[in-house]
């Protein structure tokens, strides 16, 4: 949903950066891999130790590389199949690291309900992406859904960031709201593939 509304505005900001990267011989695939590796490293080193605010800020910064690889691909005129597969695969790795690190933080800290919500979000995020990929492989068009990757990351990172700043209850609301939205999106996509 956010992807549809924000794509044009974001492209105006990222396209010049993508062109700069291409001029400096940085391939879109390298941008993808750097962003993913840095996202994973920052998530697994900061979130499990309870550094939620710092983790949110650093992870958010590196997640923005996901916008730059597309801009670099457009600037290079190199929007190829391998780049798309690499980007989607790296997205799943980054999502797994972010949610998995937070699951670790919650469960080691005896926050079982938060851990349960995070596990639901982690599994649902992977299923949402899988249903879309499988539907595309079968040439079935599915609807976007209410909790695509951008929405999931925004809700999660706003919740962790505010919790890291000491705002009470916001993380629990964000996690359980995200869990409900993610389950609903799985249903949306499955239902959409049945109708197609």
Average pLDDT over residues 6-13: 64
The pLDDT score that the predictor gives to residue 122 is: 96
Residues 6 or more apart from 119 whose CB is under 8 A from it? 103
H-helix or E-strand spanning residue 27: none
Spatial separation of the C-alpha atoms in residues 26 and 104, rounded to whole Å: 35
Mean pLDDT (the chain) is 87
**What CATH number should be reported for the domain whose range is 2-195?**
1.20.120.1760
Residues 6 or more apart from 40 whose CB is under 8 A from it? 93, 94, 97
- Establish whether 17 is an annotated binding residue: no
The pLDDT score that the predictor gives to residue 15 is: 73
Radius of gyration of the chain (CA): 17
Residue 15 annotated among the catalytic residues of the structure? no
Spatial separation of the C-alpha atoms in residues 44 and 80, rounded to whole Å: 31
Residue 10 has pLDDT above 90, yes or no: no
Spatial separation of the C-alpha atoms in residues 76 and 18, rounded to whole Å: 8
- Which of the four pLDDT bands, split at 50, 70 and 90, describes residue 9? low
77 exposed, middle or buried (CB, 10 Å; 0-12, 13-18, 19+)? exposed
Per-residue pLDDT tens digits for 138-162:
888 877 788 888 899 999 999 999 9
Q: Which of 149, 144, 158, 95 is nearest to 122 (CA)?
A: 95
- Establish whether 74 is an annotated binding residue: yes
Task: Show the tokens assigned to 92.
Answer: 């799943």
Percent over 70 (pLDDT), the chain: 91
Cα distances (angstroms) measured from residue 183 to each of 104, 120, 147: 21, 8, 9
- Candidate list 91, 95, 110, 172, residue with the active-site label: 91
- Establish whether 32 is an annotated binding residue: yes
- Establish whether 69 is an annotated binding residue: yes
- Establish whether 30 is an annotated binding residue: yes
- Establish whether 66 is an annotated binding residue: yes
- Establish whether 36 is an annotated binding residue: no
């Amino acid at each position: 949903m956010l992807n549809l509304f924000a794509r044009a505005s974001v492209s105006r900001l990222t396209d010049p950066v993508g062109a700069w990267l291409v001029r400096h011989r940085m391939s879109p695939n390298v941008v993808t891999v750097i962003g993913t590796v840095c996202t994973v490293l920052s998530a697994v080193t900061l979130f499990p130790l309870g550094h939620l605010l710092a983790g949110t800020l650093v992870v958010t910064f590196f997640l923005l590389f996901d916008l730059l690889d597309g801009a670099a691909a457009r600037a290079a005129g190199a929007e190829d199949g391998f780049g798309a597969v690499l980007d989607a695969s790296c997205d799943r790795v980054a999502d797994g690291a972010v949610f998995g690190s937070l699951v670790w933080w919650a469960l080691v800290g005896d926050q079982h309900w938060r851990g349960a919500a995070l596990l639901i979000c982690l599994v649902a995020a992977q299923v949402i992406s899988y249903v879309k990929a499988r539907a595309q492989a079968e040439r079935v068009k599915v609807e976007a859904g209410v909790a695509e990757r951008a929405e999931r990351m925004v809700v999660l990172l706003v919740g962790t960031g505010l919790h890291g700043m000491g705002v009470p209850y916001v993380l629990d609301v964000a996690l359980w709201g995200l869990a409900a939205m993610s389950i609903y999106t799985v249903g949306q996509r499955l239902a959409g593939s049945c109708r197609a």
